[in-house]
């Protein structure tokens, strides 16, 4: 009588991926509470059979770095210039790419558009686990996409998907979505920590060994982070996030991890009746074009990845009716706002302790760099004094705790981009001043906050 092997279990933190021998309330690695979940490990023989069945049994060999054939790494164009920019120039064969986003953001629509056009010249396979094939066909018909050569499959078993993909050998494989995929020898429900972790790892190994680019759709939590264990982002090559409200028209594709290009790269798309359309000049959509110009509005250049993006920051300062004035920041760091208000009081001579302060970045862009400090303070002072800053004025610079205006990276590139968009005046840090004057643009360099605020009348 053959005794059945005992099922092995482990306890894994869903935030950082740390393993523990038993369950505990707090993760010792990241300090989070109630993030450790039980994970049933696959049997050793089942795992080896699964890998030998469809992942190939080729033996690994040690090589020197100069022996690697770089011609195999030719990128595949996605036919979307903005998508290629975020990836660093296109899709690398054998790479595993995870695209996350809120429900209704347009993840499946974007991939279906690309796959339908890819299928005209490439061997493609679109695997859906959340929708039926009829639903996918109806969406493609509504968007007016070419469907005669796109191969589709409705399946959630990872082993079966890899077997069929190995027979078909597509250049591009889409998995929609990773949260509904599961492996047969993992004794837990689809979407659990164990299933998501092992399914993504298995598909990544399959992509590497057979040089098939795999694009996986991932859901996000209500906090905006990718659902599933944090280790999911470690095993894939690229992690992209499609941001945007369902009621809004524009979508922003941002790179959070990229082994083949720059991180924090940004691509802008517009949601239309025929799907997502790329926006060639993102700065134009984030700037106000109406005739009226109100106080509290300043334009600043934000460096995203490898290019400058002109955005408009707005501030509203109003007399507070409550004992504790409100501080609200949309698209900016709340703690950074509180810090700059203290600097404004100490080194700018302007106290807004009894005022409500609301700041917003137009267009839904999230600004995380310190180069927006001077523009934010200009917007606040402009609203407080009810002074209108001219439309053709650009402001950027980091403000220190002692009131000094510090330089920012790529200062001259930001000025050149602003010059192309018709800006005629720029207030910048003294260290960022170009050696040669720019034609048609007045550059005013400042070294301290008090010196900069004197320019607001």
Contact 78, 114 (CB under 8 A): yes
User: Token digits for 100?
Assistant: 């996350």
The most confident of 227-231, 288-292, 348-352, by mean pLDDT:
348-352
Greater confidence (69 vs 162) lies with 162
Q: Given a cut of 70, is residue 40 above it in pLDDT?
A: no
Give yes or no for a contact between 236 and 228, defined as CB atoms under 8 angstroms apart. no
- Does 264 have pLDDT greater than 80? no
Dist CA 171 CA 253 (whole Å): 23
Q: Checking phi first, is residue 391 left (phi over 0); if not, alpha (psi -120 to 50) or beta?
A: alpha
CA distances from 431 to 33, 41, 198, 308, 443 (A): 45, 57, 50, 19, 12
Can you give the C-alpha Rg of the chain in angstroms? Answer: 26
* 47 φ/ψ angles, rounded to the nearest 5 degrees: -65, -40
Cβ count within 10 A of residue 284 = 11
* 263 confidence band (pLDDT: 50, 70, 90): confident
Q: To the nearest whole number, what is the mean pLDDT of the chain?
A: 86
302 or 52, greater pLDDT: 302
| Tokens 């799907």 sit on residue | 275
Reported as a single tens digit per residue, the pLDDT across 128-145 is 999 999 999 999 999 999
Mean pLDDT confidence for 351-355? 91
Residue 249: name the closest of 364, 145, 331 by CA: 364
Structure token digits, residue 451:
């010196």
Fold (CATH) for 285-453:
Ribosomal Protein S5; domain 2 (3.30.230)
CA-wise closest residue to 276 among 88, 83, 99: 83
pLDDT per residue as tens digits for the range 61-111: 888 988 877 665 678 888 899 999 999 889 999 999 999 988 888 999 999
What confidence score (pLDDT) does residue 70 get? Answer: 67
Give the closest residue to 365 by CA, choosing from 248, 455, 446.
248
Interval 371-428: pLDDT, tens = 999 999 999 999 999 999 998 999 999 999 999 999 999 999 999 999 988 899 999 9
Q: Mean pLDDT over residues 15-32, rounded?
A: 82
CA 321, distance to chain mean position in Å, is 38
Q: In this structure, what are the phi and psi dihedrals at residue 81, rounded to the nearest 5 degrees? A: -60, -35
Instruction: Name residues whose C-beta falls within 8 Å of residue 17's C-beta, 6 or more positions apart in sequence.
Output: 197, 229, 230, 231, 234
Give DSSP secondary structure letters for 160-223. Answer: HHHHHHHHH--SEEEEE-GGG-B-TTS-S-TTSHHHHHHHHHHHHHHHHHHT-EEEEEEEB-TT
pLDDT of residue 38: 76
The whole-number pLDDT of residue 45 equals 43
User: Which pLDDT band holds residue 227 (cuts at 50, 70, 90)?
Assistant: low
For residue 128, give the 3-state DSSP assignment. strand
The 8 Å CB, 24+ separation contacts for 221-225 are: 224/102
Quote the pLDDT of residue 1.
Answer: 45
What's the mean pLDDT in 303-313? 87
Residue 13 pLDDT > 70, yes or no?
Answer: yes
Burial (CB count <10 Å: 0-12, 13-18, 19+), residue 272: exposed
8 A C-beta contact, residue 243 and residue 364? yes
CB 219 within 8 A of CB 177: yes
pLDDT confidence bin for 224, thresholds 50/70/90: low
For the cut 80, the answer to whether the pLDDT of residue 14 exceeds it is no
Whether the per-residue pLDDT at 456 is higher than 50: the answer is yes
Q: Is 375 helix (H, G, I), strand (E, B) or coil?
A: helix
Beta carbons of 133 and 140 less than 8 angstroms apart: no
Q: How far apart are CA 375 and CA 65, in angstroms?
A: 47
**17-26, 29-38, 430-439, 443-452 — most confident range:** 443-452
Percent of the chain with pLDDT over 70: 88
Q: Are the CB atoms for 11 and 38 separated by under 8 Å?
A: yes
Averaged pLDDT for residues 15-23: 78
Q: Which helix (DSSP H) or strand (DSSP E) does residue 427 occupy?
A: strand 425-429
- The whole-number pLDDT of residue 19 equals 79
List, in order, residues 6 or more apart from 257 with CB less than 8 Å away: 233, 236, 237, 238, 239, 263
CA dihedral (201, 203, 205, 207) in degrees, to 10, reads: -150
Give the pLDDT of residue 229.
Answer: 56
Q: 5 pLDDT exceeds 60?
A: no
What CATH superfamily classification does 45-50+76-280 receive? P-loop containing nucleotide triphosphate hydrolases (3.40.50.300)
CA 422 to each of CA 194, 283, 392: distance values in angstroms, whole numbers, following the listed order:
54, 12, 7
| HSE-up of residue 63 (Cα within 13 Å, Cβ side) | 8
Q: Which helix (H) or strand (E) holds 314?
A: strand 307-319
Count of residues making up the chain:
457
């Amino acid at each position: 009588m053959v005794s059945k092997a005992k099922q092995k279990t482990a306890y894994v933190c869903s935030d950082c991926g740390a393993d523990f021998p038993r369950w505990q309330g707090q993760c010792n690695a990241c300090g989070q509470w109630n993030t450790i979940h039980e994970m049933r490990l696959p049997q050793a023989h089942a795992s080896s059979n699964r890998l030998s069945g469809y992942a190939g049994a080729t033996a690994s060999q040690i090589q020197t770095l100069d022996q690697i054939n770089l011609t195999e790494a030719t990128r595949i164009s996605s036919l979307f210039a903005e998508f290629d920019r975020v990836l660093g120039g296109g899709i690398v064969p054998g790479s595993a790419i995870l695209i996350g986003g809120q429900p209704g953001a347009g993840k499946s629509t974007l991939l279906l558009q690309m796959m339908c056009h890819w299928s005209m010249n490439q061997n493609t396979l679109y695997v859906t686990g959340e929708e039926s094939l009829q639903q996918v066909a109806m969406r493609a018909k509504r968007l007016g996409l070419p469907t005669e050569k796109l191969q589709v499959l409705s399946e959630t078993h990872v082993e079966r998907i890899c077997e069929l993909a190995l027979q078909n050998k597509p250049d591009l494989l889409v998995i929609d979505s990773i949260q509904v995929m599961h492996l047969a020898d993992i004794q837990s429900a689809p979407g659990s920590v164990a299933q998501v972790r092992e399914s993504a790892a298995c598909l990544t190994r399959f992509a590497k060994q057979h040089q098939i680019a795999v694009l996986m759709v991932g859901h996000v939590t209500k906090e905006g982070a990718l659902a599933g264990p944090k280790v999911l982002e470690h095993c894939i090559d690229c992690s992209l996030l499609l941001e945007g409200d369902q009621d809004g028209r524009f979508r922003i594709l941002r790179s959070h991890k990229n082994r083949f290009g720059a991180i924090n790269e940004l691509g802008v798309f517009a949601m239309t009746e025929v799907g997502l359309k790329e926006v060639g000049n993102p700065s134009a959509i984030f700037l106000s074009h109406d005739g009226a110009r109100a106080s509290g509005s300043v334009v600043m250049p934000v460096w995203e990845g490898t290019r400058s993006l002109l955005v408009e920051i707005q501030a509203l300062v109003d007399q507070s009716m409550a004992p504790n004035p409100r501080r609200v920041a949309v698209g900016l760091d709340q703690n950074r706002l509180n810090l700059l208000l203290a600097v404004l009081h100490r080194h700018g001579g302007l106290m807004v302790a009894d005022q409500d302060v609301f700041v917003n970045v137009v267009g839904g862009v999230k600004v995380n760099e310190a180069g927006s400090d001077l523009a934010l303070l200009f917007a606040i002072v402009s609203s407080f004094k009810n002074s209108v800053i001219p439309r053709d004025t650009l402001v950027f610079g980091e403000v220190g705790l002692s009131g000094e205006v510090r330089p920012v990276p790529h200062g001259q590139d930001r000025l050149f981009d602003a010059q192309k968009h018709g800006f005629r005046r720029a207030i910048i840090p003294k260290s960022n001043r170009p050696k040669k004057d720019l034609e048609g643009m007045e550059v005013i360099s400042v070294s301290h906050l008090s010196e900069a605020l004197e320019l607001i009348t």
